Chain A
Amino acid sequence: MGLKRDVSLSAGLRYRGPAAYLTYILHRIGGLGMGIFIAVHILASFVGGRFGGILNGIYENWAFQIFIFFCALFHAINGLRITILDLFPKLLDYHVEAIWIEWAVFIPLFGVSVFVIVSTALGG
């Protein structure tokens, strides 16, 4: 007798891991977000008509675009960090610094992009 090994999503998310664990979680959210975007995009083209128009409205919405851009950019930069560390295991000694560099690259790029998206959306 005993409790099963099941680890719920909330138990996993409540684990207090290091900074890399946050990037691990955001990487998955990024992948999922891009999957949703592609699904909505394909569905909108496939279905067409009024429902297709509603779907087009979702992914053309500027808030959704900011979310998708976050997903794509973070997924790409984080993936690059992981690939570099995978190919050069000696650099794994500097994995904490690698995450700082990742944020230092991501934040300005994302910030500028959000500014452009928002100013375009609100400026007409």
Chain B
Amino acid sequence: MEVTIKIFRYNPEKDQRGNYVTYKVEAHENDRVLDVLEYIKGKIDGALSFRRSCAHGVCGSDAMRINGRNMLACKVLIRDVGANITVEPILGLPIKKDLIVDMEPFFDNYKKVLPYFINDSPLPADGRERLQSPEERARFDETTKCILCAACTTSCPSYWANGEYYGPAAIVNAHRFIFDSRDEAADQRLQILAETDGIARCHTAYNCTEACPREIKVTKAIGEVKMAIMTGKLD
């Protein structure tokens, strides 16, 4: 089938602003959008720039707006988006070139919520591992799936309006440690998220939940963190 694909292009060395370039290419309906982009880069226009790495929905490099919605280009089939496709960079982050955005502000916000295991208590008597029941592990299972692709954060209207907002991805990763029974810094993280640029900026638009390629219930995770802040309890 013939696919008409309109791609946002921006060259910082030449352009004052971005523009769209349309390509017509042959593709199979089971091809992914990433395959079409690879074809254009390889055969038509080598200057086209986009991020990709694993190409299997694991690394989260190729988050972009496809037909107006955040998706991973490697997970979307042509048959799911049709023969007329518009590909644009994700919103809310500075654009460096074509579909490549500067991820630094995203990772700066991510780092603010202490997204790592904190436990300064001595190890158990056997000196080996800190045990956890399957139920305790299941409590935060959902939020361990995040691949930091930024599809959720850059679909959030609160983040579009204010880049200081930590954003859904940071809160999801805070949730992963807040509800980990082995971690001891939940209070510290809840305090951080209770600040002005934290949880209060979530206005439940659900764009994040819809955009997540790992199908994490992002808004639910944010809701649980909100409740933990309100009640001071983690159950």
Chain A complexes with chain B: yes
Residues of A at the B interface (CB closer than 8 Å) are 1-5, 7, 11-12, 14-18, 20-21, 24, 27, 82, 85-87, 89, 92-93, 95
Task: Specify which chain B residues have a CB less than 8 angstroms from the CB of A89 in the assembled complex.
Answer: 220, 223-224, 226-227
| Residue in A5, A12, A16 with the greatest tally of chain B CB atoms within 10 Å | A5
Of the candidates B102, B163, B224, which one forms a contact with A2 in the assembled complex, judged by CB atoms under 8 Å apart? B102
| Residue in B18, B160, B224 with the greatest tally of chain A CB atoms within 10 Å | B160
* 0/1 interface trace, chain B 77-98, chain A, CB 8 Å (1 if under): 0000000000000011111110
Of the candidates A16, A82, A86, which one forms a contact with B68 in the assembled complex, judged by CB atoms under 8 Å apart? A16
Given A1-B13, A24-B205, A89-B220, does the pair A18, B210 have CB atoms closer than 8 Å?
yes
Of the candidates A3, A17, A93, which one forms a contact with B205 in the assembled complex, judged by CB atoms under 8 Å apart? A17
B232 close to A (CB within 8 Å): no
* 0/1 interface trace, chain B 10-44, chain A, CB 8 Å (1 if under): 10110001100000000000000000000000000
Count of residues in B whose CB is under 8 Å from the partner chain: 37
A-B pairs, 3 with minimum CB distance: A89-B223, A20-B206, A7-B160
Task: Specify which chain B residues have a CB less than 8 angstroms from the CB of A15 in the assembled complex.
Answer: 65, 68-69, 91, 155, 157, 207
Interchain CB contact under 8 A, A3 and B10: yes
Which residue on A lies nearest to B12, using beta carbons? A1
Of the candidates B91, B105, B224, which one forms a contact with A11 in the assembled complex, judged by CB atoms under 8 Å apart? B91
Task: Specify which chain A residues have a CB less than 8 angstroms from the CB of B207 in the assembled complex.
Answer: 15, 17-18, 20-21
Contact sample, A vs B, 19 pairs, CB 8 Å cutoff: A1-B13, A2-B94, A2-B96, A2-B97, A4-B94, A5-B163, A7-B91, A7-B160, A12-B157, A12-B160, A15-B157, A15-B207, A17-B69, A18-B207, A18-B209, A24-B157, A92-B219, A92-B220, A95-B209
**Count of A-B contacts with CB under 8 A?**
88
Which residue on A lies nearest to B11, using beta carbons? A1
B216 to chain A, nearest CB (A): 12
Of the candidates A2, A16, A27, which one forms a contact with B95 in the assembled complex, judged by CB atoms under 8 Å apart? A2
Cα A20 to Cα B69 in complex, Å, equals 14
Given A1-B13, A16-B68, A86-B226, does the pair A95, B94 have CB atoms closer than 8 Å?
no
Task: Specify which chain B residues have a CB less than 8 angstroms from the CB of A12 in the assembled complex.
Answer: 91, 157, 160
B204 close to A (CB within 8 Å): yes
| Residue in A1, A16, A93 with the greatest tally of chain B CB atoms within 10 Å | A16
